[in-house]
């Protein structure tokens, strides 16, 4: 069952941008979303941080998905971190998005033009003391870092579809 605070990793099977993101982030995932409930997700898109229905990613013909649950975090900390995420409203442009991908691919570790989807989640969680990868700037966390973290548990199940 999907719970508030779960993370949905996504890869579009046919979108060229998805392949570019996976290449530059060295991941099999191109997007990370944060579950607000079993029907809604919080995600960072080029248009900004938005709330959308989770069902859009549950079409197995188009998307590959993986659902993760955070380990060792309290519900009140998830609520606080999500409130921080809901406060982000910076818009993004495709030029800034593409430039950010280039910087990620080159390993550029300073502030990027836009916050990535996984960086947004990691940054919010870092403000309540939760880190996917100790010693790595939360803004530089990739979907692969979230997927490979010892602080996440794979809970993907047939119930998603």
**What does the alpha-carbon distance between residue 135 and residue 51 come to, in Å, rounded to a whole number?**
30
155, 133, 134, 156: which is closest to 144 by C-alpha?
133
Over the stretch 57-77, which tens digit does the pLDDT of each residue have?
A: 989 899 999 999 999 999 999
Q: What is the pLDDT of residue 36?
A: 94
Q: Is 72 exposed, middle or buried (0-12, 13-18, 19+ CB in 10 A)?
A: exposed
Question: Average pLDDT, whole number, for the chain?
Answer: 85
- pLDDT tens-digit series, residues 93-147: 556 666 666 666 666 655 554 567 898 899 999 999 999 999 988 888 889 999 9
Cα–Cα distance for residue pair 16/12, rounded to 1 Å: 9
Domain 7-160 CATH (choose: 3.90.1720.10, 3.20.20.60, 3.40.50.1970, 2.40.50.140): 3.90.1720.10
pTM of the full predicted structure? 0.84
């Amino acid at each position: 069952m999907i719970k508030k605070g779960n993370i949905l990793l996504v890869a579009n099977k046919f979108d060229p941008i998805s392949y570019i993101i996976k290449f530059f982030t060295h991941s099999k995932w191109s997007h990370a979303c944060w579950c607000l409930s079993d029907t809604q997700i919080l995600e960072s898109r080029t248009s900004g941080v938005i709330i959308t229905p989770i069902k859009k990613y549950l079409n197995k013909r188009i998307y590959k998905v993986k659902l993760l649950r955070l380990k060792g975090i309290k519900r009140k900390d998830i609520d606080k971190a999500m409130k921080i995420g809901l406060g982000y409203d910076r818009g993004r442009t495709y030029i800034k998005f593409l430039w950010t991908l280039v910087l990620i691919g080159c390993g550029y570790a300073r502030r990027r033009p836009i916050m990535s989807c996984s960086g947004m989640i990691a940054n919010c969680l870092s403000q309540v003391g939760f880190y996917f990868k100790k010693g790595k700037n939360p803004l530089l966390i990739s979907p692969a870092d979230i997927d490979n973290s010892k602080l996440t548990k794979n809970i993907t199940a047939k119930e998603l579809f």
